[in-house]
Structure 1
């Protein structure tokens, strides 16, 4: 069985994209040693951490932007509803009411 000469890691993101990180584990003399393997693992881990940190920061930034957009939209809707309520108060005199008017009192004649 042939020995593997590279340390590889592939990260698959939620959107389906993949990112691969690879580093050779052999020395210049094509010898795989424990120290070379350890160095390669360390380098791949560092690059992986950098990639994941960058990805997390980008997601946080998107989430903050989304939340601030939602907050502005909510504030806009709330201010729009307040304006609408003010206009409704002005139009109360012209509204059509579904209720029947109260019955008039009838005068009774007493002798």
Structure 2
């Protein structure tokens, strides 16, 4: 049982790191697209948002599985709850990066 718990925690950590890196890149791309007026880069940001959302759901399910199957207490429970909080905030930053990109795309479509 303990081994399974550690495997789930490892998977959780890996997914949070992966999502954080992806969102950081998304934000960089959105800002770069806006500053350099690069519509293709802005469109890439909007397309990749699906990956962020998919990782968000996987992280939530992993946390739910850990809580349901392992019934963590004290420090382990705080770790899982912190992971959920981090996940929510990182996903929100990803949404904001997509909003920047979409705003730029829409701005480019309007006549001046």
TM-score by length of 2: 0.39
**In proportion to residue count, which structure has more helix?**
2
**In proportion to residue count, which structure has more strand?**
1
Specify the structure having the higher radius of gyration (Cα): 1
